[in-house]
Every structure is written in C-alpha cells, then in structure tokens.
Chain A
C-alpha cells in the first residue's frame, strides 16, 4: 500500500455544486484517513447524496475538487470507480437477472470474477441472510432485498473506499446490525467508509466521526461529543441535529 494508516484517502476541498440557482453543496472541506467510518448527517435534500455523487464522478463540481486516493473524482472517475464500492440510495438493478448473475456481471466488469471474491460474496450474503434469494430473479425482490443485493455488490470486489447512501434504510434491525458489523470489520481492515444517513442512532453507533450538512453547508464535524459541542453544548446528538438544522 502506498498510504500509511494516517494518509488521507477521501478528500474534498471547497467542493461546491449548484443546480441552476439552487446551491446543493457549498464549499465542503473534508479529509478522511484510511480506516475511518464517516457519517454524513442531514435532513432530506441537505446535499448528502450530491456529495456522494460528486465523489463518484457522476456530477461535475461547480467549484473545488473531490479526491479519492489522490485521484480527481471528476477527471479520473474511471480509476476512482475501481477503488470504490458504491451503494446508491435507490439501487436500480437489472431486473431480468438473478442476484448472483448481477454480482457476476459487476465482478466481470471490474475484472475481478475470481473464486476468492465469490467466497467474500458468500460470506456477506450469508451474514445478511440473503443466500437463498441470490438465485432468484431481481424483479421479484422487495426493497430490502434490493438493498441487500446492492450492498453485496458494493462489497464484492473488496474496495478501498465504500460510498454508501443510506445503507441501513429499509433493512430490519437484525440485518441492519449485521451490516454495521460488516462495515466495522472492513474499516478495521483499512477500508474508508463514507455513509449518508438520517438515522442518528446508526450514525452514533457505527461512525468514528460525523458531519452534519444543512442546506449544502457542513455545519459541524467531529465525533458525537464534538458535534454536540459545536451545536452549542447540547447533551445528545438528536438535540445537536435539531439545533443545527433549525439554525440553518
């Protein structure tokens, strides 16, 4: 590995995105080291998904840069995508394939269709209670199953960075807990995880650090205690969230 444990893997500098007059993201500065789980918090439409889409290179920033492992996300998106496992908020999947066929497709497109990847797939599917459904047609999947499949797909090639939009949304509590522990294990192996969520307890339990985005601006960043302090010294994350949202 080129980077030491303290190296910055995910980085944003003055990252901004406007859609017409609407400012979706305004001057985001962020540095995430290897092995960190970072939670993006914020109300609906705050700019969480826009941030992740900028890191994926789906959107062109209006100003500033987004970098992953030193690569410019907008200009070198192909190389970035090789490093990243991505979970979209509403995973649109190829309905006419089975789950296993989709995973196989994604792995072959990445040139990673190897037995050791499939053993990883088997493990993550097993832990999410998803083994049997892997061989069913995606068209018949429920929302939760789609989410699970998209997660399995995002984890399949053992990426260095995980960009996850609402990873535990729509999952039952047992599976959500498994997902959290999967993420923690990956982080312990040096994977940097950025997840967006509006579930405060998820954020608090699993993330090393949190960033609260309101109306495109990063209002607070740090661990739960620091966020509370930045919100005016409130006691709980919920109060901090309320205070920051109201202030925005």
Chain B
C-alpha cells in the first residue's frame, strides 16, 4: 500500500500554491499580501540604508554599554522577548498574510495521506512568509546593528538576511510544533482559549520589545554619549521592566506591578467573556457563518453590527493594551532614543504593520460577513451610506475602547505636562473617528465592481487598513510635534479623504446593483486625493532616503520638492482635463488680475507678518535653503518655486480638486474652502495661515474667472516676489 512519494506530494503542493498566486493576481482575490510585502521590503531597505549611515553607531554604543555595565541580561531579555513574541504570534496565527494559509487551514488538506513530518515541512516552506513582515521590520534592523559590531558592508547585510530567514523558519517550525502538540489534546473552545491567550502574550511582547529596543539605545546615549534622553522616556510603561532588568531601582517595580495587574484584570475579564460567549470564534474571528439564513432573517443593520462587535470584543479587549502600548511606545521610545521624531517612513512601516495585524484580524476575517451585510442592508431599506457609517461607528467605538485601555499604563507614570495627555487623547480620538470612517468607506470602495465577482474585499481589507494607517501615523507624529492648527488641518484633510472615499464607495455600490455607464465616472474627489497621496508618498520617500545616502538636508529638500511637483504635474494635468469649466473672463484679463492680486497679497502678507512678528525672518527650511546654497541648487529652487511648483499646485488644487468637490457637493463656496484647507495643510510646515488665505483668494479668483490662468498668475507672481525678497535680503 504505497502512496505517492514525498517529493511528488511536495511538487503538487508547490504547483497548486503557485497556481493560487497566479489566480489571485488574475482575479484580484487575496492579493493584498502581494502588495504589502514589497511595501514592507521597501521600508526595510530604507531602514537598512539609514542604519548603515547612522544607526549602527547607536546600536554599537548601546551594546558596548550593555555588555560593559551588567547589561548582558538586558540584551538576552531583549532577544528572548523578541523570539517568544514571534513564536507566539505565529502560533496564534495573528500574523497577517492570506497567501498560502487557507491551504493549511483546509480540513481537506489535513485529511490527505501526508505524514505529520512532511506536512510540517510543507507548512514550514510555504507558511513562513506570513510572519516575514514582523521579522523583517523589527528583528532584522536590530540584528543588523549587532552584526555590524563584527562585520561591515554587504557582508553584514548578507549575514543579517541569512540569520533572519533561518530565525523565521525556526520560529514557524516551533509554532507549528506547538500547534500540533496542543491541538492533539485540546479541541474546540479550550484550543481557542489557548490561541487567544497566546496571541495576547504575543502582542504584549511585541509592545515590550519595541519599547525596550529604543529605550536601550536611549540608555547608550545617556550613559555613553553623555547627553540625557528626554525626561519623558521615563514615563514609558516598560521603564520599570528595564530598570528591573538592569537591577537599577527596585522601587520602579511598584509601577510595573500595577500596570501588569491592570493588564491581567483586563485579560481575565476578556477571557471570562470569551468563554461564556456562545460562539465558536477562533483568533481568526468569525470566518464562517454558523447557520444558513442567519443574516437573511430580517436582522436590522444595527443588530448585525452589534453581533459582529460582540463576537470580536473579547479579542479586542485582550489585544487592546498591548497593541496601543506598542503604538505609543514606538513613537515615544524613538523620541527618547534619538531626541527627535522617529523618521517618518520607519514609523509608517511599524505602525502600518501593527495596524495590518489588527486590521486583518478585525476586518479581513469579517469580510465575508461584510459582503453579506453589503447585500442585505439595502434590501432592508437602508442605504449603503448608512452601512458605511454604521460600520465606521462600530469600529470607532471599539477603537476608542482600545485607546482607553492604552491610556491605562500612563496613569501610573509621571507626566511631563498636565495637558499633554488630554490633548494627545483628544487628537487620537479625532483621528481614529475619521480614520475608521475612511477605512470603512475604503473597504466598500475596493469591492470589485463586477457583480459576479464580488471578491475584492480581502484586497480592500489591506488597503483599507493602510488608508487608515498612513494618515493616522502622520497625525500622531504631528500631534506630538506640532501646534494645534497643523493637526487640526490634518484631521480636516483626513475627514475630506473619508468623505471622498465614502461618496465614491456609494457611487460604486450603486453601480454594482444597477450597472449603467462607466463605473469609474462616479468617482469624483477620491481619484484626485489618491494622486495627491501618490505624489506625497514619492516626496516622503525621497526626503527619507536623500539624507541617508548623504545628499545633505538642503539638496534633499529641493529634490523632494521637485519629485513632488514632477509626479503631481502630469497626474493633475490629466485630472484637470476631466473638469472643464466655462471661461468667463478673457485670458489677458485673467492673467493681469491674477498678477495684480498676487502682488497685493504678497505686500499684505508681508505687512501683517512684520506687524505681528517684527524682525522675524523666513523660518522655514525652504527659506533657509535659499540663503544657504549657491550654484545649481539655488537655480533649481528659484526655477521650481516660480514655475513648476505653482503650475502643479494650481492644476491640482484649483484645476482638479476644487471642481471635483463642487461637482460632489454642488456648492462653490465649500469647494473653495476645502481646496484652500488642503492647500494650507500642504504648506503647514512653513506658514499655514498665509497659505490658507492665499488658497481662498486663488479659489475665489478661479471661481469668478473660470480660468486657471488667473490663479496661476497670482501664484507665480506671489512666489516670484517671495523669492526676490529672499534673494535680495541675502
């Protein structure tokens, strides 16, 4: 009774996995992971470049201190925590990635005559990519720092990659072995509980690790470099743990004990809830409906949402503190380590990743249900807009719950300023509210518009999370770093994004139900914001890599501006052409008026600025660039700020965004105000108030004249005068 050989089975498995990838690309089903992993890889590469330039030095110092000063057990703790976290998360399968996983989850696969060892090997081979993102993002950069103590250059990179891959495989194997061992004796609910507990431990450890890492570097800085870390690093929740690990101060233990007690209480409450809940959910969430016809039985939308909510709540309660500790620890820990903001891209990657973890658990697993909800709600007399908003509300409620959980540890910590927490928390709630709105809308928008293939939600899940993640990160960084006007304008931008996504989603969903005309014609504001986001992302990437490769601050700034305009210009050109406006003024009149208004505005803004802050010069980095450079860099700034940048901005703001908003809302004043607000947001770093003012005037001019030439002339004149003033004042 001989079956097929292991090699033959392996070939069949590989063939079908590849077929699955091909199918997922061809049918746009579950291809989210394929998008996310290159993204994470890009972040990793940027990070490695940065480490190569600067970071290795910090890690080296930290390790020197650590091994010199009784700190070896700190390093050991750090590495252990990291390893256990990876295994725990893999075990709980809370790690994102849908690629090959369904294959292993299929009971049919379990029912095949494959020896347990072979099956484990298969799973190891194909399943280990699931956690690669975590290992790549958190493990590898730290490892690289350690490796560079002995090796340098490409060799160090190669060794890091090899160790990371091996570590990833081993962790996967251990996780599968654990799973095999535990599920041999446990089934049903007990098995679920083990997974829930493991996942929460994993999340906690991730939080611990990501806090400990940056704090470690902070230590090195304080002790070795002689410059103290900012005071608030001592308010970090894991500070006590670090001290304990270094045997520094036993008194901190009381803080730690309180914090852990709070977590344990929360976890126990969640577990009790979980055990008593009459459901069969596992960590993957309610992935399969438990009874046919359940959703069709006239449940109201609110009931449907409440059920979804209550089923996921225990998991959320468990994941809450760890997730948010992680979230804040990264921001704050990085500040304490470097004394500055964590570089934007890194933060985006880290938080994007953690949100993907959470988002996959929350939205991805529920997507099949959402697909049902999508079809049922309108038939129950509810509009799709209601569906989107109530989903957003449900998720908002959950996330605010999460935030409250996360605020807990800080009650037991010294506070830098009494108002810091309320402001942070208010900002976060605002961000989360609009973020969830955007995410819910994005989920619905990204549904494949062909009625027989309503399968786009898994891709949508990933993108939806990213849609929330990126603005959330941007906001949280700015929230702690900048003044109220900036972050309020950012909240406004995010709200605009959410609203545009929602309008587009509703249009798209109506098209799915009654397909007439072009499905993309209904999308108005969202395509404009999307293009804007692409240009912004390109700028961020250039800004982040420029300095790392030794380009220098000024050149990086100039290059990033050029890239931004260069990307936005053709996109905006194409977009503006889709919104033809009837010209009311002649071309000469438009140009002349625009130029006059531009000059007058320049004089006015200059006068007001002198009045408000006499003697204050141009404080923006761009103004500094003007005064500190010569040669081609100076020429490039002058030419760009008087031609390319105004042209790209006018094409986008007045030529595309404003008419798109107007078509959506029907009110010209709202369109002018909104486009001006976004315009101000873009200029927030230098001067948001003059930019808002100029944006309003430019919008009004465009509205009045019906010609883009008017606002373009104003913008060019204004910028030329600014440049002249700066050049003459050099």
Contact = CB atoms under 8 A, between A and B. Distances in A.
Contacts of A60: 184-185
A82 B2 CA distance: 10
Contacts of A104: 16
B110 A58 contact: yes
A50 interface: yes
A139 B292 contact: no
A110 interface: yes
Contacts of B114: 78, 81, 109
Given A96-B21, A137-B23, A153 B108 contact: yes
Contact of A105 (B8, B12, B21): B12
A23 to B, nearest CB: 12
A92 B29 contact: no
Category for how many chain B residues contact A:
35 or more
Interface in A105-142: 105-106, 108-111, 137, 139-140
B111 A97 contact: no
Contact of B452 (A96, A105, A140, A153): A140
Contacts of B111: 56, 81, 84, 86, 88
A19 B102 contact: no
A111 B16 contact: no
A109 B113 contact: yes
Given A105-B12, A110-B113, A140-B452, A96 B20 contact: yes
A20 interface: yes
Nearest to B189: A19
Interface residues of A, number: 42
Given A79-B113, A81-B111, A137-B455, A94 B12 contact: no
Contacts of A81: 111-114
Contact of B187 (A53, A82, A97, A105): A53
B132 to A, nearest CB: 19
B113 A78 contact: yes
A79 B114 CA distance: 9
B108 to A, nearest CB: 6
Contact of A109 (B13, B27, B29, B288): B13
A90 interface: yes
A225 interface: no
Nearest to B452: A140
A96 B29 contact: yes
A101 interface: yes
A77 B246 CA distance: 51
A111 B24 CA distance: 26
B269 interface: no
Nearest to A113: B12
A20 B190 contact: yes
A19 B115 contact: no
A170 interface: yes
A59 B112 CA distance: 15
Contacts of B289: 143
Most buried by B among A60, A93, A97, A105: A105
B103 interface: yes
A69 to B, nearest CB: 10
Contact of A91 (B24, B27, B108, B454): B108
B1 interface: yes
Contacts of A143: 289, 292
Nearest to A144: B292
A227 to B, nearest CB: 27
Contacts of B190: 19-20
A106 B8 contact: no
Nearest to A93: B106
Nearest to A101: B19
Contacts of A19: 186-190
A156 B20 CA distance: 21
A236 B1 CA distance: 45
B107 interface: yes
B605 to A, nearest CB: 57
Interface in B1-29: 1, 3-4, 8-9, 12-13, 15-16, 19-21, 23-24, 27, 29
A62 to B, nearest CB: 9
Contacts of B594: none
Interface in B270-320: 288-289, 292
Contacts of B3: 78, 82, 110-111
A97 B4 contact: no
Interface in B93-115: 102-103, 105-115
Contacts of B108: 86, 88, 91-93, 102, 106, 150, 153
B453 interface: yes
A173 B12 CA distance: 36
Interface in B109-131: 109-116
Contacts of A245: none
A90 B112 CA distance: 17
Contacts of A109: 4, 9, 12-13, 109, 112-114
Given A58-B110, A82-B3, A108 B27 contact: no
B1 A82 contact: yes
B9 A97 contact: no
Given A19-B190, A110-B4, 17 more contacts: A58-B110, A78-B115, A82-B113, A91-B108, A94-B20, A96-B29, A97-B16, A104-B16, A105-B15, A108-B4, A109-B112, A110-B113, A137-B453, A139-B455, A140-B455, A153-B108, A170-B292
Interface of A: 17, 19-20, 24, 50, 53, 56, 58-60, 78-79, 81-82, 84, 86, 88, 90-98, 101-102, 104-106, 108-111, 137, 139-140, 143, 150, 153, 170
7 contacts: A19-B188, A59-B184, A94-B103, A109-B9, A110-B113, A137-B29, A150-B108
Cβ-closest 7 pairs across A and B? A111-B4, A96-B20, A108-B12, A88-B107, A86-B111, A81-B113, A105-B16
Interface of B: 1, 3-4, 8-9, 12-13, 15-16, 19-21, 23-24, 27, 29-30, 102-103, 105-116, 184-190, 288-289, 292, 452-455
